[in-house]
DNA sequence: CGTTACATTTACGTTAACGTCAAGCACTCT
DNA sequence: AGAGTGCTTGACGTTAACGTAAATGTAACG
């Protein structure tokens, strides 16, 4: 028999919005894209702990510029959804590719940071000269 | 005979496309957005060495997810366009902010890389188990 | 039972960064 | 002169990730 679990730590859509700084539209949009699947209590959405974990992963993915479609596929891996070997192998490969991309991006980013710092050195010197002249 | 224009320090739009792997539409689009300003030889665009340098900066900026509008502002800094102190100071601040953002992004990226690597460890182990069972 | 306060669905609007025609010059070769 | 090619300027189309508005539902409060 299925117990309804009164201690259900579920959040309403509004509580989710406040907690994670997203709009209700965003949550429904993610659901439409099959990134989330909250339970429904008579036409209302209820977000479980798993839903919240998924949302956090989604938001983290977005911070790195991954598309929602990318994220949807990555979520499968994080969930070890790959119940069969072929599926698991595919998501594994996908993760490998992504990892390589991220490392490349990190390397480029380091270079860009160094270059920008150098630029700012020059700008800083120019500013100092200006201020000295304004004396 | 066709003169090859020995002093040709300029490239046509097509040569630019081939050299930098962008479409003509893209180059015209950047021009409309005031990121580029090639000279015109009787209704035709000619790209100078400076134009090419700018394009390279644009493309590099894009690789890091900067918007074209962001890039347009950064170009001002790279060009030391800030002929007056106020302008220079503003672009300098803009660069500072950008640098901070990039460093934060780099830090987050490192964390994400570590996490993803860990995930892949698990997935790899699961795959190995599968293959062993298939023996 | 009416009002207030959110929820939900449906659907059109928005922005960025181009893609994709369409129609017309301007050459150059034949 | 005619044909072909490349370049030009519109101008509408496209995708992602939501925003925003309208119409409707429902739950709790007094």
Averaged confidence pLDDT in chain B = 83
* Residue B62 contacts strand C, CB under 7 A: yes
| CA pair distance A123, B87, nearest whole angstrom | 11
Query: Which residue, counting CA atoms, is nearest to the C1' of nucleotide C6?
Result: A14
pLDDT band with cut points at 50, 70 and 90 for residue A8 = low
Residue pLDDT, tens place only, B63-84: 777 889 888 888 877 776 556 7
Q: How confident is the model at residue B4, as a pLDDT?
A: 37
**Residue B70 DSSP SS3:** helix
pLDDT band with cut points at 50, 70 and 90 for residue A29 = very high
Q: How confident is the model at residue B81, as a pLDDT?
A: 53
Chain A residues within 8 Å of chain B (Cβ atoms):
60, 63-65, 77-78, 80, 82, 85, 88-89, 91-92, 95-96, 98-99, 102-103, 105-106, 108-110, 112-113, 116-117, 119-120, 122-124, 126-127, 130-131, 134
Q: How confident is the model at residue B25, as a pLDDT?
A: 95
What domains lie within chain A, and their CATH numbers? 8-66 (1.10.1660.10)
Interface probe for A, chosen from B100, B107, B115, B120 (most Cβ of A below 10 Å), is: B120
- Mean pLDDT over residues B18-25, rounded? 94
Tokens of A132: 């000295």
Shortest CA to C1' contact from A14: nucleotide: C6
Tokens of B122: 């698990």
Residue pLDDT, tens place only, B36-60: 999 998 889 999 999 999 999 999 8
In this predicted structure, the answer to whether residue A25 has a pLDDT above a threshold of 60 is: yes
DSSP states along chain A? -----TT---B-HHHHHHHHT--HHHHHHHHHTTS---EEETTEEEB-HHHHHHHHHHHHHHHTT--HHHHHHHHHHHTT---SHHHHHHHHHHHHHHHHHHHHHHHHHHHHHHHHHHHHHHHHHHHHHHHHHT-
Say which residue, B127 or B114, is predicted with more confidence: B114
Residue pLDDT, tens place only, A47-105: 999 999 999 999 988 877 788 988 888 887 777 655 677 777 877 887 888 888 889 88
| CA pair distance B128, B134, nearest whole angstrom | 10
Separation of CA A120 and C1' C23 in angstroms?
Answer: 48
């Amino acid at each position: 028999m299925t117990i309804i679990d009164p201690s259900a730590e579920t959040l309403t859509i509004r509580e989710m919005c406040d907690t994670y700084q997203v709009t209700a539209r965003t949550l429904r949009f993610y659901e439409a894209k099959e990134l989330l699947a909250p339970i429904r209590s008579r036409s209302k959405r209820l977000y479980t702990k798993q839903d919240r974990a998924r949302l956090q992963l989604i938001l983290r993915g977005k911070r790195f510029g991954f598309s929602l479609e990318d994220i949807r596929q990555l979520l499968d891996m994080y969930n070890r959804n790959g119940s069969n070997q072929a599926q698991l192998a595919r998501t594994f490969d996908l993760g490998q590719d992504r990892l390589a991309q991220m490392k490349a991006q990190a390397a480029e980013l380091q270079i860009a940071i160094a270059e920008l710092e150098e630029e700012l050195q020059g700008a800083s010197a120019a500013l100092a000269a200006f201020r000295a002249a304004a004396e």
